[in-house]
Structure 1
Amino acid sequence: MHGGLSPDLTNLDQIRSIPRPTDVPDSGLLCDLLWSDPGRDIKGWGMNDRGVSFTYGADRVSDFLMKNDMDLVCRAHQVVEDGYEFFADGSSLLYFPLPIIAENLIMLVQ
């Protein structure tokens, strides 16, 4: 995932069937896949501070994984201090490689 989950997402075939290339709508499944965010203090779905899409709780991650026979959701749309961070009791990985890339570049230059 780039962003996160969507209340409109019921199965992975919906993602596979998104035409490409395409414009990103202001709401709906594709918008949510790009812009939704996990919320540590939320259960279910909530309003997103970005003003677009939703926030979702750990319970939504668990439900999605169970329904789709998956173990982990990887998400790469949020800066995290060490380059990665787990959410939803380890069932969702927030991954942002910039700190890792920057550290490797510094070591390479030295």
Structure 2
Amino acid sequence: MHGGLSPEMERLQQIADLHRPCDVPDVGLMCDLLWSDPDTGVNGWAENDRGVSFVFGADVVAAFLEQHDLDLLVRAHQVVEDGYEFFAGRRLVTLFSAPNYCGEFDNAGGMISVDENLMCSFQILKPSSRAARFAQRPQQQK
């Protein structure tokens, strides 16, 4: 998923049932799936500093995974320095694949591979050096 979980989600089928394409509402399931974030300082649900959706704690992740018989939740949506970052005892991973995001972060990008035995491995896309990013490119002749 892109963002995270929603207090409105009781069944995984609710994701498939969402009508798409659509304008994203300011509240509700679609909004939360896109904009909610995990937060190490929270138990349960709390307001999100982004001003939209919620933040959720490790307890929410554990309950969701148990309820739906899942082992791992993979999300994106937040820049993480090393390309991926675990949360909730390695039961949620934030995966961010764009190194040097927007030219403003010195983050690595990450990719996840899942093999036929459902074993996950990560590949890291290292950020280019600042010097290389800002070096002048040779001008092409016309």
SS in 2 for 1:31: helix
User: Is 1:41 paired with 2:50?
Assistant: no
Deviation of 1:97 (Å): 1.3
Cα distance in 1 for residues equivalent to 2:65 and 2:11: 10
Structure 1 unmatched runs, 5+: none
Counterpart in 1 of 2:77?
77
Cα distance in 2 for residues equivalent to 1:20 and 1:104: 34
Greater share of residues in strand: 2
Q: Deviation digits for residues 4-52 of structure 1, max 9, x if unmatched? A: 0000011100001001111100000000000001010100000100000
**TM-score, structure 1 normalization:** 0.91
User: Is 1:103 paired with 2:126?
Assistant: yes
SS in 1 for 2:94: strand
- The amino acid that maps onto 2:33 is L
Counterpart in 1 of 2:93?
93
Cα distance in 2 for residues equivalent to 1:5 and 1:26: 15
SS in 2 for 1:85: strand
- The amino acid that maps onto 2:17 is S
Q: Which has the larger radius of gyration?
A: 2
Greater relative contact order structure (CA < 8 Å, 6+ sep) = 1
Counterpart in 1 of 2:17?
17
Cα distance in 1 for residues equivalent to 2:24 and 2:84: 26
Deviation of 1:104 (Å): 7.5
Cα distance in 1 for residues equivalent to 2:38 and 2:127: 28
- The amino acid that maps onto 1:100 is G
SS in 1 for 2:109: helix
Q: Deviation digits for residues 65-89 of structure 1, max 9, x if unmatched? A: 0111100010100100000000000
Greater share of residues in helix: 1
Q: Considering only aligned residues, what root-mean-square deviation do their CA atoms show, in Å? A: 1.8
- The amino acid that maps onto 2:43 is K
SS in 2 for 1:86: strand
